A and B are shown apart, each in its own frame.
Chain A
């Protein structure tokens, strides 16, 4: 199964990530984790996001675009990246989630992925109705 780990980071973590003097320490903590995931063959995809200040939020209402600067969610920690894991079951995903190095200051949300959109709606319907663990 595939799951997404949504990584929410503190302002401090974003600052550390973008500070030339502290960036190395930030990645030194995380890179071994990503390498371990790759070595285990569970990392299907990964994306790091530029800081929340670079976000733009868009809505379309009555055909008109409404564009706001900043991220959608006004939360204390902010989305900093996403990992997609390919794991045998939810337990394995949860184990990897607890190993994430940024958990002391950040937050990780785990969400099972929807199966890829198929030509027929039926498998998706079953998948949506099924509660994950």
Chain B
């Protein structure tokens, strides 16, 4: 089954990304994690996201364009990235999610994906 895993990170973990003293260790841990996913042959895509303050949120209501700076969800942890994996079942997805570097400080949302859309 195909799952998406959304990575919700603490402000502290986001701060490590731009702290010269900590960023190499921080990204090194993530690289090892994703190398493990790739080595297992289950990685199906995804991306890291720039920090929440780079977000723009938009909607249309009664024909009016509404724009807000910042992410949609006003939550304690914030979305820092997401990835998709192909695994046997939810237990396997949870096993991989539990090893994710953000699991011990932030939170992970695991959601089954819809079947891919037809290309034509």
The one of A55, A71, A113 that contacts B47, using a Cβ cutoff of 8 Å: A113
Give CA–CA (A67, B110) in the complex, Å.
10
Is the CB–CB distance between A82 and B97 below 8 Å? no
B residues in contact with A61, CB < 8 Å? 104
Is the CB–CB distance between A60 and B109 below 8 Å? no
Name which residue of chain A comes closest to B7, CB basis.
Answer: A72
Is the CB–CB distance between B54 and A112 below 8 Å? yes
Residues 54 to 68 of chain A near chain B (Cβ within 8 Å)? 54-61, 65, 67
Q: Answer yes or no: A48 CB below 8 A from chain B CBs.
A: yes
CB distance from B85 to the nearest CB of A (A): 11
Q: How large is the interface on A (under 10, 10 to 19, 20 to 34, 35 or more residues)?
A: 35 or more
B residues in contact with A4, CB < 8 Å? 47, 49, 82
Q: Answer yes or no: A13 CB below 8 A from chain B CBs.
A: no
Give CA–CA (A67, B72) in the complex, Å.
24
Instruction: Knowing A49-B114, A56-B90, say if A113 contacts B77 (CB, 8 Å).
Output: no
Give CA–CA (A131, B17) in the complex, Å.
13
Give CA–CA (A129, B75) in the complex, Å.
22
A residues in contact with B28, CB < 8 Å? 121
Name which residue of chain B comes closest to A77, CB basis.
Answer: B72
Is the CB–CB distance between A112 and B82 below 8 Å? no
Q: Residue-by-residue, is A38-54 near B (CB-CB < 8 Å gives 1, otherwise 0)?
A: 10000001111110101
B residues in contact with A58, CB < 8 Å? 94, 97-98, 103, 107-110
The one of B18, B71, B107 that contacts A129, using a Cβ cutoff of 8 Å: B18
The 12 listed contacts between A and B (C-beta, < 8 Å) are: A48-B114, A57-B110, A74-B75, A98-B58, A107-B57, A107-B72, A110-B56, A119-B31, A121-B24, A124-B27, A127-B50, A132-B50
